[in-house]
């Protein structure tokens, strides 16, 4: 028996100012929170963030241009 291929499910919300990284608003602006959120989501989604043979799924809260560009850049 071949073991099943592991699946890494990454959940992400749309990068909207005032809606992401809200606990950081005490020290960051809403745009800085969006930028941080985008960097963190992208870092986990890049090739090499999960094992080579694992299936990597990105589950998103809505259709957003950030997710489209992320998919285009990484060709998952």
User: Which of helix, strand or coil describes residue 10?
Assistant: strand
For tokens 């489209």, the residue is 68
Give me the pLDDT at residue 75, please: 66
pLDDT tens digit sequence for 40-64: 999 988 877 777 788 888 999 999 9
Pick the residue with more confidence: 39 or 53?
Answer: 39
Element (H, E) at 56: strand 55-60
pLDDT tens digit sequence for 6-21: 888 999 999 999 999 9
Do the Cβ atoms of 51 and 6 come closer than 8 Å? yes
Query: What is the residue extent of each domain of the chain?
Result: 7-74
Cα dihedral angle (57, 62, 65, 66), rounded to 10 degrees? -50
């Amino acid at each position: 028996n071949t073991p099943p291929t592991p699946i890494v499910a990454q959940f992400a919300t749309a990068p909207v100012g005032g809606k992401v990284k809200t606990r950081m608003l005490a020290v960051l602006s809403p745009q800085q929170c969006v930028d941080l959120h985008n960097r963190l989501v992208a870092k986990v989604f890049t090739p090499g963030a999960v094992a080579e043979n694992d299936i990597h799924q990105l589950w998103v809260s809505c259709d957003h241009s950030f997710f489209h560009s992320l998919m285009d850049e990484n060709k998952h």
